[in-house]
């Protein structure tokens, strides 16, 4: 989940990376989403920051967090979580 604030918008620079990984992996277990933290109370702790935050969930539980846009780290985290 790309957790973003309305004033900043979702991180568009990683959309291509996510599409590429989804096409390469082709797993039904892999889903990408965006969430505006300003309108979701459960994501309140991610408000007020100007760095992208990517949240990784498995079985409904938060299993990893990546702060900032670091493509190699995002890719590594995604593949490790699968």
- Tens-place pLDDT, residues 34-73: 888 888 999 888 888 778 889 999 989 999 999 988 889 9
Per-residue pLDDT, 8 = 78
The CATH code of the domain that includes 38 is: 3.40.30.10
- Give just the sign of the alpha carbon dihedral 66, 72, 76, 79: positive
Per-residue pLDDT, 55 = 92
Which residues have C-beta within 8 Å of that of residue 7, sequence separation ≥ 6?
A: none
- The total of structural domains in the chain comes to 1
Residue ranges making up the domain that contains 23: 2-81
Per-residue pLDDT, 66 = 93
What per-residue string of b and e applies to 26-57 under the rule 16 or more CB within 10 Å gives b? eeeeeeeeebebeeeeebeebeeeeebbbbbe
Per-residue pLDDT, 56 = 94
**In the beta sheet, which residues pair with residue 58?**
61
- Tens-place pLDDT, residues 1-36: 888 888 876 777 787 888 888 888 887 888 888 888
């Amino acid at each position: 989940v790309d957790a973003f604030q309305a004033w900043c918008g979702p991180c568009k620079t990683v959309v291509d990376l996510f599409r590429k990984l989804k096409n390469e992996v082709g797993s039904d277990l892999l889903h990408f989403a965006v969430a505006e933290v300003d309108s979701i109370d459960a994501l309140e702790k991610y408000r007020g920051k100007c760095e992208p935050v990517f949240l990784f969930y498995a079985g409904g539980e938060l299993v990893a967090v990546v702060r900032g846009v670091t493509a190699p780290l995002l890719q590594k985290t995604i593949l490790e979580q699968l």
